[in-house]
Structure 1
């Protein structure tokens, strides 16, 4: 497996490269399919992803009970068995976030991705207090997630960086001016992650700013394409980047944009098409993929696998 750990301040390691974000597979009766989740995590490990981020957006974080949350964290730690870092998702209302942070520490994950506050759009002082309370509640490494109700001024980030547990910054907001301001002022004090929906689509712009890591939804079903894309960016192979855009990334993204919630449900359909266990349903308010869009994705994936067979793309 390729080494994918980055050094932060010469002593603290956070995952780099392509980050793995498993789904949470549900049976028709609403229960978590633990066998399918184990297979999903094992698949990401076998494909060489640098980390497992469990119970985050693609894992339908918002719909899990605290008991379900605990069970999937335990499973992720067990399956990875120290091979790669495991990060949990924490957030929502402050009481819930603090409970999840404590559970994460007890279970033994390596850190957590701190989600935005639930619904409320706080002032910068409120954001500062929210993230300070959570990240100081344990000794775990913390990655701040900028999106939705959490958009940070530079001065707020400078204050938060007094907290040593904060090691990374994931951007899902997409304001290039703000990102440049942050990364040029903060530099390598943080690891920088692209967390935009379908991150491959925007990664060339993020790469130019100095971001070297991203969360990959398609790695749950066509990880060799994500690896090809990352390597092409790294090597400056613009022709291959453009070809992957035309044949894979933009066509899939066109479907993803058709309905709210497809950022999750389309992953599960992609896994199903590729013969990977993905559960049988999603939880409200996310909606399942329509038959029409299922067929469109199936045609795209058939074309992708014809043009870029996994055995060729991965060298295996």
Structure 2
């Protein structure tokens, strides 16, 4: 990029999956279709090879291919962010690769295994952020939980443009947003973020990652617009018929945060398949059937109109 805009993506963030063919290999045609679908449906950005993209399981070669496909499919229409993280050597290699391939930035995922002290977390994130000139977003979740002081120290880097919360500690979020303000973009990264987004809005969170946008993006848009226009009647209906029923299934098994996306995509006719990489398990038949019924109601209740 010739000019880097130091700003985190806003709005509904797109997180493509990592489709597999019948031989267990990355299906690049299906991946391209997934990304183009998200862009055509109006999502503000593409976050490739992150949690939904099975970052934990894809090979280095598949990672590179996924980033290349995403950048080619986006054609500069929306920013493309990659997932980097794990052990520090791997994270730095992926950060450098992301810059080489032309990504706009990256989402920093937690380190493997270690439960670090704040000084260790700072060193981990600091090393990754300053390793390239790309925009960086810190993902607060699991074993990467920052206090205010650690996050403030990282603000010396202009590359740090965003903070994504997947922890759900509202007192921490209030302290951070009220102290730091609009220096960072605030992103809701909670599981099925629509469930919690109303609690985040007044803190300054204007963005969230939407798993359901992979198969019912018109519901994502309806929800987002209803939330920010304070349309409580529509919000209540979306919760009753779409968001909470899907979330109840998602909570039934560990790993459904990924597997349920692929199941939903297959149900609506997108060429993805439901195969997931170990240790994630596919959606069980009964849960799949339940999701089918929910989606039938959703499309009947909220028909998909032109953008």
- Asked if 1:238 is matched to 2:232, the reply is yes
Task: Give the 3-state SS of the residue equivalent to 2:272 in structure 1.
Answer: coil
Q: Which runs of 5+ in 1 are unaligned?
A: 1-7
Task: Give the 3-state SS of the residue equivalent to 1:211 in structure 2.
Answer: coil
Task: Give the 3-state SS of the residue equivalent to 2:163 in structure 1.
Answer: strand
Alignment deviations for residues 182-234 of structure 1 (CA, whole Å, 9 cap, x no partner): 00000000000000010000000011211000000000000000100000011
- Over the aligned positions, Cα root-mean-square deviation in angstroms equals 1.1
- Asked if 1:27 is matched to 2:4, the reply is no
Alignment deviations for residues 256-290 of structure 1 (CA, whole Å, 9 cap, x no partner): 00000000000000000000011341000000001
Indicate conservation of the 8 Å contact 2:263/2:274, yes or no. Answer: no
Distance 2:248 2:292 in 1: 14
Alignment deviations for residues 50-101 of structure 1 (CA, whole Å, 9 cap, x no partner): 0000000000001011111001000100111100000000000111000000
TM-superposed deviation, 1:12: 2.6
Q: 2:111 aligns with which of 111, 117, 121?
A: 117
Task: Give the 3-state SS of the residue equivalent to 1:310 in structure 2.
Answer: coil
Alignment deviations for residues 123-172 of structure 1 (CA, whole Å, 9 cap, x no partner): 00000000001010000000000000011111101101111111100000
Distance 1:72 1:211 in 2: 28
Task: Give the 3-state SS of the residue equivalent to 1:60 in structure 2.
Answer: coil
Kindly report which structure 2 residues correspond to 1:95-244, keeping only aligned pairs within 5 A, or say none. 95-244=89-238
Q: Which runs of 5+ in 2 are unaligned?
A: none
Q: 1:38 aligns with which of 27, 32, 36?
A: 32
Task: Give the 3-state SS of the residue equivalent to 1:266 in structure 2.
Answer: helix
Indicate conservation of the 8 Å contact 1:169/1:190, yes or no. Answer: yes
Query: TM-score, normalised on structure 1?
Result: 0.95
Distance 2:126 2:42 in 1: 33
Distance 2:22 2:169 in 1: 39
Distance 2:122 2:6 in 1: 23
Aligned to 1:252: 246
Task: Give the 3-state SS of the residue equivalent to 1:173 in structure 2.
Answer: coil
Distance 1:279 1:23 in 2: 11
Task: Give the 3-state SS of the residue equivalent to 1:275 in structure 2.
Answer: coil
Indicate conservation of the 8 Å contact 1:87/1:109, yes or no. Answer: yes
Count of paired positions: 304
Distance 2:286 2:203 in 1: 38
- Asked if 1:76 is matched to 2:55, the reply is no
- Asked if 1:50 is matched to 2:44, the reply is yes
Task: Give the 3-state SS of the residue equivalent to 1:89 in structure 2.
Answer: strand
Kindly report which structure 2 residues correspond to 1:5-24, keeping only aligned pairs within 5 A, or say none. 12-24=6-18
Indicate conservation of the 8 Å contact 1:28/1:280, yes or no. Answer: no
Aligned to 1:3: none
Q: 1:278 aligns with which of 260, 272, 288?
A: 272
TM-superposed deviation, 1:174: 0.4
Q: 2:80 aligns with which of 63, 78, 86?
A: 86
Query: TM-score, normalised on structure 2?
Result: 0.97
